[in-house]
């Protein structure tokens, strides 16, 4: 109850701060949308490129300081997939099945063939294969499918967390150990890989409420 009250208090303070700045609410004929305070805050932040409650980047005076994305490979940990049907097992997309070994598959991912992207020795999957894996799991009859995203937590930061937890460096490659999700084996069904998260394009216009890309 205390945690809920604290969240409500912080959120209320954010709204009061927004009102104190004299920002006008976003005009909207739909009363339901007009009452959507988080949406108003976000839309004002996008219009003004400044927000009284948050910012993305290192400059608190700029709402969207970071507009690009890393090409660093991101770890993938799955549970309940090993030995699954085609599309469910991580090796359906990883290792020799990497889409980055095929010009046709890379072309399908990006709509063109990016320079130096196809690699006959590639083992990494693409971030879109996470969707493919989940869809395959649903199609195979899986009822409970969970996706957990640790935003900004790549292999290096996972290793740093493991070092802190164990007070030692226990690995320098691979899955490693030192956090619960690294050590949990899900009765032998867990798998590990890594994926490409390169952006499809620059300047994408999205509607976060509809979860849709407007100019794909």
Task: Give the pLDDT confidence of 97-147 residue by residue, as tens digits.
Answer: 999 999 999 999 998 999 999 999 999 999 999 999 999 999 999 999 999
Banded model confidence at residue 210, pLDDT cuts 50, 70, 90? confident
pLDDT above 70: residue 4: no
**Mean pLDDT of the residues in the chain:** 83
- CB contact set of 64 (below 8 Å; sequence gap of 6+): 46, 49, 55, 56, 57
Identify the residue with better confidence: 159 or 151: 159
User: What's the confidence (pLDDT) of residue 200?
Assistant: 72
Distance between CA 18 and CA 45 in Å, rounded?
A: 11
> Is the pLDDT score of 5 beyond 90?
no
The predicted pLDDT at position 58 comes to 83
């Amino acid at each position: 109850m205390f945690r809920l009250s604290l969240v409500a208090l912080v959120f209320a303070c954010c709204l009061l701060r927004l009102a104190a700045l004299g920002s006008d609410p976003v005009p909207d004929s739909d009363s339901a949308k007009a009452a959507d305070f988080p949406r108003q805050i976000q839309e004002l932040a996008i219009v003004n490129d400044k927000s009284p409650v948050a910012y993305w980047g290192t400059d608190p005076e700029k709402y969207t300081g970071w507009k690009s994305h890393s090409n660093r490979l991101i770890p993938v940990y799955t549970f309940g997939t090993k030995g699954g049907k085609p599309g469910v097992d991580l090796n359906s997309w990883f290792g020799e099945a990497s889409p980055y070994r095929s010009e046709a598959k890379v072309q399908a991912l990006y709509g063109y063939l990016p320079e130096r992207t196809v690699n006959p020795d590639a083992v990494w999957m693409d971030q879109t294969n996470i969707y493919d894996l989940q869809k395959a799991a649903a199609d195979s009859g899986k009822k409970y499918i969970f996706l957990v995203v640790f935003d900004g937590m790549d292999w290096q930061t996972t290793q740093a967390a493991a070092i802190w937890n164990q007070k030692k460096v226990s690995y320098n490659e691979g899955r490693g150990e030192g956090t619960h999700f690294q050590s949990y084996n899900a009765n032998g069904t867990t798998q590990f890989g890594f994926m490409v998260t390169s952006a499809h394009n620059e300047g994408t216009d999205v509607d976060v409420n509809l979860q849709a890309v407007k100019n794909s």
